[in-house]
Each structure stands twice: as structure tokens, then as C-alpha cells.
């Protein structure tokens, strides 16, 4: 959990580049670590960078494929990105929704 706290203190772009692909590949067996990963990725959705938001959606989808309780929230976020996101976010959102539905 310590590394999650430290990552949030780093520049979001730097931390994000390292973290985005990490959650689905880690052996996240501790509930606090899983919750921390979700929280961090959801926070990245508030970032000003569209690429940060897009990669965060991708990482959340990767987690939602393993965690059924996360799916409804991720589906909602993807549907919102398809409606209101940038063109790249709309395109990626459609592709990710197809994977979950």
C-alpha cells in the first residue's frame, strides 16, 4: 500500500505511465491493495490529460474483467466517455464497452 501512497505524490503523468498497465498484472490479493488501485485509477479520471483518462479507463476495464463488482461502475464510466469524451476517448470507450458487454 505504501507504493500507492507514494505514487499519488508523484507527478500524475510519470506515475500514470508506470501504473496504468500494472494493476491487472500484479497479484493483487490484499483487499486494501485492490481498493487502493481502484481509488487511484478513479482519481486519474479527474486528470486534465485525455491520455491519462483513457489509460485509466483501460486499466479499470482490465480490473473489471476479473472483478464482477467493479463492472457496473466501469460500464457506466465507459458509457459516459462515449457520450462526452474526446474523439479518442469515444473511440476507445466503444471498443472497451464491446469487451465488457
SS3 87: helix
Distance CA 7, CA 40 (A): 9
Instruction: Count CB atoms within 10 A of the CB of residue 72.
Output: 11
Owning domain of residue 67: 2-100
Over residues 56-89, the pLDDT tens digits come to 888 888 888 888 888 999 999 999 999 998 888 8
- Split into its structural domains, the chain has a count of 1
Q: Report whether 79 contacts 97 (CB < 8 A).
A: yes
Confidence of residue 97 (pLDDT cuts 50, 70, 90): very high
Amino acid at each position: 500500500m505504501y507504493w500507492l501512497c507514494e505514487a499519488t505524490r508523484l507527478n500524475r503523468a510519470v506515475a500514470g505511465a508506470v501504473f496504468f498497465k500494472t494493476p491487472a498484472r500484479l497479484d493483487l490479493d490484499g483487499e486494501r491493495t485492490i481498493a487502493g488501485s481502484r481509488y487511484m485509477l478513479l482519481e486519474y479520471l479527474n486528470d486534465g490529460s485525455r491520455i491519462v483518462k483513457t489509460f485509466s479507463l483501460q486499466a479499470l476495464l482490465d480490473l473489471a474483467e476479473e472483478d464482477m463488482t467493479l463492472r457496473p461502475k466501469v460500464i457506466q464510466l465507459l458509457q459516459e466517455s462515449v457520450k462526452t469524451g474526446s474523439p479518442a476517448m469515444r473511440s476507445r470507450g466503444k471498443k472497451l464497452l464491446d469487451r465488457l458487454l
